[in-house]
Structure 1
Amino acid sequence: MRRFRLTAYVTSFLFATAAALTGASAAQATENAAPTGYVALGDSYSSGVGAGSYDSGSGSCKRSTKAYPALWAAAHSPASFNFTACSGARTGDVLSGQLGPLGSGTGLVSLSIGGNDAGFADVMTTCVLQSESTCINRVNTARAYVTSTLPANLDKVYDAISAKAPAAHVVVLGYPRFYKIGGSCLAGLSENERKAINSAADLLNTTTAKRAADHGFSFGDVTTTFSGHEICSGSAWLHSVNWTNIGESYHPTAAGHSGGYLPVFTSAA
């Protein structure tokens, strides 16, 4: 009788211990497996320059409530939302000033970067103000940079993101082509210049996509969603030269973020 009671007691104790350990392990696993914070990094194409409705607290970074990160966060209510993307940012700026919110609780990261490293603003200024040959030479200089130097800079950013937020799903967003070839524009750049600029955007996207894939990140290609909405399309989601607010030139409008970037990011996220 005593042996039976002892056996029953030991058995009950073992079951209780196992249940307690299993419960604790499950709770810990649930806690560790549920990083749901969202951090939006990157340059002006992520901060929302060109979309208007800027957060006054973001200063020269010009973070917009109509930018795709803010739109996604409003629709999906992540556990936390940190928006550090900034106008003019290069890869070094992301490394030095944007990664602070990343951590073990970060489940999602978005990023667009590389255009400023390649000299995006200077390319467009050169092409608008100077000759066709000067424009194409400047585009070719940017292409050489994208091929030779940018990949290593992207690797540094991607490595840093993985180190600080190892559980995060990272979505790298690309850039749209600027021009519809054979479109409605009757003045401005030549078709040769427009083709060269579009081709450079394609190179930037393929280079970025390759580096993202090699780091296990997703790449969001927005060229398809912007197709039919380029400059010279008659229904542009990109600003052309804006002489009253030059910084918005060649950036997505609010419609470009909601109709061009947001669906791609939502699908990849």
Structure 2
Amino acid sequence: MFKTHLSRGLLSVAAAVTAVVTLLGANASATAADHYVALGDSYSSGVGAGSYISSSGSCDRSTNAYSQLWANSRHPASYVSVACSGATTQDVLNNQISALSSSTTLVSITIGGNDVGFSSVMETCVLDSSSTCLNAINAAVAQAKTILPGRLATTFAAIRSAAPSAHVVVLGYPELYDLGHSWYCPGLSGTDRTALNNAADLLDTQIAAAAANAGDTFADVRSRFHGHELCDFFNEWLHSVDVTDVGDSYHPTASGQSGGYYAAFSAVAP
């Protein structure tokens, strides 16, 4: 009787191991068959993460960008990033869509911030007065409500047309500040920080809605960055305000790309 139970137990274990190996093999095969293209702006190219690829020029594509990290870990059949610092929806349509084809199976993108001038808003908030900062934020918010939805719809439709079989993952933007620590955090005023966070939330809301309307997957990175925002001392995954290198300000560090964007993307990518 003991031998019978032992034999049955061993058979069950063997069956379970076989199932796991088969599942892992199937996932590996699916990943190996992927043809992955990364589109988008500086949050996809990896501005702020260092280790820039010299051939990418002013696009500042980083080997620490989430798309490269995913490709390193999953080994797809092909991978290319055409994400570029400063890109708008029009830049995606004019300069990046051509990287897609009917054989593309996976696409990632961050886009929309530059369409409403968010990078210039952040520079304004760094360099100018609080009232000027708030005015710039309000202007960007107005554009996010009126201009951005149509541009996103056009862009996501073009991606679908160029890569009809692809799983398209649209990633959002993080909130910038931990407002709970803002009262003893140097730099911008609490009012400015709250307005910037609210603007990021609105931007994500508009992007998520456009992605859903296009049948794409929205990956929200905000929860990944909680506890790692500006004012989370020694745990920050975003570059703080730097008047000597404004371009890096508010962009994810290498840790933000891996712990924030790569984690969010991996959770929804095949």
Native 8 Å contact 2:33 2:76 kept in 1:
no
User: How far did 1:124 drift?
Assistant: 1.1
**Correspondence list, 1:115-126, <5 A:** 115-126=113-124
How far did residue 122 of structure 1 move? 1.5
Q: Which amino acid aligns with 2:121?
A: V
* Aligned partner of residue 168 in structure 2, secondary structure: strand
Q: Structure 2 CA distance, aligned partners of 1:193 and 1:267?
A: 32
Matched residue pairs, number? Answer: 236
Report SS of the residue matched to 2:36. Answer: strand
> 1:98 Cα shift?
0.6
The equivalent residue for 2:75 is 77
SS in 1 for 2:135: helix
3-state SS of paired residue (1:100): helix
**Contact (CA 8 Å) 1:91, 1:157: kept in 2 or not?**
yes
Alignment partners' CA distance in 2, 1:159 and 1:186? 42
Residue type of the alignment partner of 2:219: G
- 1:101 shift after superposition: 1.8
| C-alpha distance in structure 2 between counterparts of 1:112 and 1:71, whole Å | 16
Structure 1 residue ranges (4+ consecutive) displaced by more than 3 angstroms after TM superposition: none
5+ long unaligned stretches in structure 1: 1-33
Match 1:163 to one of 142, 161, 171: 161
- Check conservation: 1:182, 1:191, Cα contact below 8 A: no
Q: Deviations over 1:121-147 (max 9, x none)?
A: 221122122222221121111010000
CA deviation digits over 1:54-112, x for unaligned, max 9? Answer: 10110000100000000001111111101100000000000000112211110000000
In structure 1, C-alpha distance between the alignment counterparts of 2:185 and 2:232, rounded to whole Å = 12
Give yes or no for contact 1:143–1:200 (8 Å, CA) kept in 2: yes
For the pair 1:228 / 2:227, whether they are aligned, the reply is: yes
Question: C-alpha deviations, 1:3-37, integer Å up to 9, x for none?
Answer: xxxxxxxxxxxxxxxxxxxxxxxxxxxxxxx9620
Query: Sequence identity, in percent?
Result: 57
For residues 78 and 187 of structure 1, what CA distance do their matches in structure 2 show?
44
Measure the CA separation in 1 of the matches of 2:191 and 2:241. 18
Contact 1:180-1:230 within 8 A present in 2 as well:
yes
Aligned-pair distance for 1:268?
A: 1.2
* 1:91-130 equivalence runs, <5 A: 91-130=89-128
Alignment of 1:133-144 (within 5 A): 133-144=131-142
Give, in whole Å, the separation in 1 of the partners of 2:222 and 2:143. 22
TM-score by length of 2: 0.85
What is the rounded CA distance, in whole Å, between the counterparts of 1:186 and 1:42 in structure 2?
31
Aligned pair in 2 of structure 1 residues 86, 164: CA closer, same or farther (>3 Å)? same
Unpaired runs of 5+ residues, structure 2, are 1-31
Match of residue 213 from structure 2: 214
Structure with more helix by fraction: 2
Alignment RMSD, CA only?
A: 1.3
Verify: 1:246 aligned to 2:216, yes or no.
Answer: no
